[in-house]
């Protein structure tokens, strides 16, 4: 991937801001705007993590959890 990590970071920050806006104006429990913003954060984070690693060999301490991930930790 040839995206600059700073560009990917700005995309992630923008996705977080959009999620905040969508959450603040939520129209019901299953508002599609909130769901779309949630998924945009996950996508932007994955891209940022990948380009950060490619450019600097570094990762963040964050993990994207998907439904069912917490069930895997319980034994």
CA dihedral 34, 7, 58, 56 (to 10 degrees): 170
Q: How many residues are recorded in the chain?
A: 75
Question: How confident is the prediction along the chain (75 residues), in pLDDT tens digits per residue?
Answer: 579 999 999 999 999 999 999 999 999 999 999 999 999 999 999 999 999 999 999 999 999 887 776 655 554
pTM above 0.95, yes or no: no
Nearest to 63 by CA among 55, 72, 4: 72
pLDDT at 73: 53
pLDDT at 13: 98
pLDDT at 33: 96
Per DSSP, the residues of 1-40 read ----HHHHHHHHHHHHHHHHHHHHT--STT-HHHHHHHHH
């Amino acid at each position: 991937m040839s995206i600059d990590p700073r560009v990917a970071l700005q995309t992630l920050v923008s996705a977080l801001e959009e999620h905040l806006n969508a959450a603040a104006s939520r129209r019901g429990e299953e508002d599609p705007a909130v769901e779309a913003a949630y998924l945009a954060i996950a996508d932007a984070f994955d891209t940022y993590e990948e380009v950060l690693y490619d450019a600097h060999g570094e990762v963040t301490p964050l993990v994207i959890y998907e439904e069912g991930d917490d069930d895997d930790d319980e034994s």
